[in-house]
Structure 1
Amino acid sequence: MRTVCAVVLVFEAIVIGLAIPIAIQLEGVDPAVAGGVWGGMAVAALLLAGLQKRTWAHYAAWALQAAFLFTSFMISGALLVAIIFGSLWVIGVIMGRRVDEIRAVHAAHAEAAEGEEGAVTAPGSQTR
């Protein structure tokens, strides 16, 4: 799950970064404000992408999704992009959890099969 979420965050960081010149040129947002708000979110997305192995970073990324959604009202067209990335995030979490469950079941089956194989051939017995 964490890998999928990290990928979504990296692409989201790129899109958020590209929102800065749009906010400045088309919406007339002060460059310091645009750089601070969306630049900060882009950097946070990159940092959180690298830290997705930690539980707190995963929850912080949920907060980042909400922040992007709320600030997207300041730029025309950004709301649609925020909804798309929010949807990708939710889908990534759901599908990632399913993949993690399948991997755990597969690992348990492999471990059980390995245990059965060890029980069949007892130590000291000869196999041909």
Structure 2
Amino acid sequence: MRTLCASTLIGEFFVVAFAGLVAMKSDDVSMTAVWTVCGVAMLFSLLLCGMITRRGGIPLGWALQIALIASGFVVPAMFFLGVLFAALWWASVHYGRRIDEAKARWAAQSEAQAQ
């Protein structure tokens, strides 16, 4: 699960950076506000890569997905990209857990055969 979720979060890191570049052109939001929010979101996505398997890591990832969708109010394309990354996040968590379970079963079978 960790690899799939971390890949999604790294992708979000770059999407947030590019969204910041787009938001910079808006007259409604100051450049300082844009890069403060984007910087925090980018740092949060990187920190989450290491917290995925810890308690609360997955819910924090969902919070980031909600924030990414909400950023569509500043950069309208982020509504689409936010929903896309939320779907990727769901798939990463769902299928990552299934892969982890299959790996655990395989390791248990290998250990039983070795004995």
Same fold (TM over 0.5): yes
Q: What TM-score results when the alignment is normalised by the length of structure 2?
A: 0.90
**More moved, 83-92 vs 65-74:** 65-74
Q: Which residue of 1 aligns with 2:110?
A: 110
- AA aligned opposite 1:56: G
**TM-score where L is the length of structure 1:** 0.81
Structure 1 CA distance for aligned equivalents of residues 77 and 27 of structure 2: 11
Q: Report the alpha carbon displacement of residue 45 of structure 1 after superposing the two structures with TM.
A: 0.3
Unaligned runs of 5+ in 1: 116-128
Q: Detail structure 1 runs of 4+ shifted over 6 Å in the superposition.
A: none
What per-residue deviation string (whole Å, max 9, x for no partner) do you get for residues 79-113 of structure 1? 11111111110011111011011101101111211
1:32 match: 32
1:65 is aligned to 2:65: yes
Matched, 1:97 2:114: no
For the pair shown, the structure with the greater C-alpha radius of gyration is: 1
Distance 1:83 1:27 in 2: 25
1:40-89 alpha-carbon deviations (Å, 9 max, x no partner): 11111011113323222332112111111122222121111111111110
Q: CA contact under 8 A between 1:27 and 1:75: conserved in structure 2? A: no
Q: How many residues align?
A: 115
Q: Which runs of 5+ in 2 are unaligned?
A: none
- Alignment-derived partner of residue 23 in structure 2: 23
- Alignment RMSD: 1.5
| Aligned counterparts of 2:67 and 2:26: Cα–Cα separation in 1 | 21
